[in-house]
Amino acid sequence: MSYEKLDLQPFFDTVDELKPQFIERLRKAIAIPSVSADETLRPQVVKMAHFLVDELKSLGFHDIQLKDLGTQPPPVADPKLQLPPIVLARFGSNPDKKTVLVYGHYDVQPALKDDGWATEPFEMTLNEAQDIMYGRGTTDDKGPVIGWLNVIEAHNKLGWELPVNLVVCFEGMEESGSLGLDKLVEDEANQYFKGVDQVTISDNYWLGTKKPVLTYGLRGCNYYQIIVEGPGADLHSGIFGGIIAEPMTDLVHLMGELVDNKGKILIPGVYDMVAPLTDKEDALYDNIDFSVDELNAASGSETALHENKKDILKHRWRYPSLSLHGIEGAFSGAGAKTVIPAKVVGKFSIRTVPDIDSGKLDQLVFEHVTKKWQELGSKNKFKVELIHDGNYWVSNPFNKAFTAASHATQDVWNVVPDMTREGGSIPITLTFEKALGVDVLLLPMGRGDDGAHSINEKLDVPNYINGCKTLGGFLHYYGRGE
């Protein structure tokens, strides 16, 4: 696809020139163990917020605010535990320019060397031979957050004006449920965020390891449980086996009526709600760089249910799936225990896609499971309920923001990015879209093998440096009105 190319080479050259400083800035961020799930480390999460404030001040941001979210709701060991603040800041306030809001998070997953890390997780290690940086938060999400700051530093050094007004929103509880963020976004929609034209999130990854992507869709997730209870206490199978109704037997039967071993959902009406596949959408899958071999490598097995790229990706991104997750209350240890559980709880979820209505889906699930229960004629008690839900999100991959991001990606990587969706969920995407009434773009920095929540989390230096170029280039093309 041809486009009028901007001369961004001076910016790109400046990013390359500042590479040592950019690596050092990320190293300092990684050194702060901002683990939101660990109450004892909450001061470190707050320290990370103040680190960002200091960086923002030094770069020339204004109207910097630390938004207090109050105390963290139970369950907590410390009832007075304060939620970490949300960092808001602006760069530029020209009414003639578009305004882009960038979101990221400064908290990270827990990490200990004893978990199996090859290096200390909170001491960033640069493997110069492989050009890889290791450390907790390198890719999720401190690398991308610091990347936006690097973009500003490069512009400052060049003496270039930023082509848009920039608003940043950095939170410290993303890895622990983003407590307080939805309300803040809604409260600030007509206050701090008033006038925002577009939201960009860099908190996801390439599909693979070689080709950059732009992400325009996420599946939602409705999580359910089936409760079956009978005896007043766990019983001995030698005494009661064969003479009482066993809850586990009923539950296994019910869970077997939800999905077959080929992945087909057995609940009537679910597939009827799925948006039909258009030729234009189908064509987006043609050039995506992916194969069944990559799926097998990622799963560590050869158990793929589909044998070609397009079928795999469609079932991962744009069709619903039902997964069985576990049974609470049943014996699960090693060895042999002849117990009949008195009460068991089966957990399962459905990943939702356009145009599945969440409330209608709940109704279909409840009706189906209840019907199968009635067919059993069991003397046990039964209940099925929703635990939580989160809606799907899909955007237009041909809108101005995606077009601008595609042009910037082509400038930096010399390839047209793949347009991808993801099977997982990033709930804040939908919150921004609904509360602000603007388009959202997911612009990833890291690769598919970065191990975001795993041991030895990493970010390749080329992805970090070229990622900064891509973020900055996007602002230029979007500011021009692509």
So which residues are the catalytic ones?
107, 174
Dump strand ranges (E) for 84-178: 86-91, 99-105, 125-127, 132-134, 165-171
CA 171 to CA 178: how far, in whole Å?
A: 8
Q: Is-contact 217 394, C-beta < 8 A?
A: yes
Q: Is 229 annotated as a binding residue?
A: no
Known binding residue 96? Answer is no
**Cα 97–chain centre separation:** 30
| Strand 220-229 with 381-390, pairing | antiparallel
Instruction: Give the closest residue to 458 by CA, choosing from 172, 211, 119.
Output: 119
* 203 marked ligand binding residue: yes
338 belongs to an annotated ligand binding site: yes
- The answer to whether the annotation marks 236 as part of a ligand binding site is yes
In DSSP terms, 382 is beta-bridged to: 228
Tell me whether residue 181 is exposed, middle or buried, using C-beta atoms within 10 angstroms of its C-beta: 0 to 12, 13 to 18, 19 or more.
buried
Separation CA 406–CA 422 (nearest Å): 18
| CA-CA-CA-CA torsion sign (38, 44, 50, 52) | negative
The span from the CA of 401 to the CA of 143, in Å, is 22
Output helix, strand, coil percentages for the chain, rounded to the nearest 5: 35, 20, 40
**Scanning the structure block, which residue is given the tokens 């009827």?**
272
Q: Is 105 annotated as a binding residue?
A: yes
Cβ(321)–Cβ(263) under 8 Å? yes
Q: Which of these, 260, 255, 258, lies nearest to 346 by C-alpha position?
A: 255
Q: Which of 101, 204, 185 is nearest to 144 (CA)?
A: 204
Task: Give Cα separations from 263 to 214, 319, 420 (angstroms).
Answer: 27, 11, 22
Burial class (CB in 10 A: 0-12, 13-18, 19+), 455: middle
Whether residue 140 is annotated as binding a ligand: the answer is yes
Is 425 annotated as ligand-binding?
yes
Q: Hey, which residues does 90 pair with through a beta bridge?
A: 62, 167
311 is in an annotated binding site: no
Strands (E), 337-476: 339-340, 343-352, 381-390, 393-394, 418-422, 439-442, 458-460
Provide the 10 A C-beta neighbour count for residue 479: 18
| Residues annotated in a binding site for substrate | 203, 236, 338, 351, 425, 453
| Residues annotated in a binding site for Mn(2+) | 105, 140, 175, 203, 453
| Residues annotated in a binding site | 105, 140, 175, 203, 236, 338, 351, 425, 453
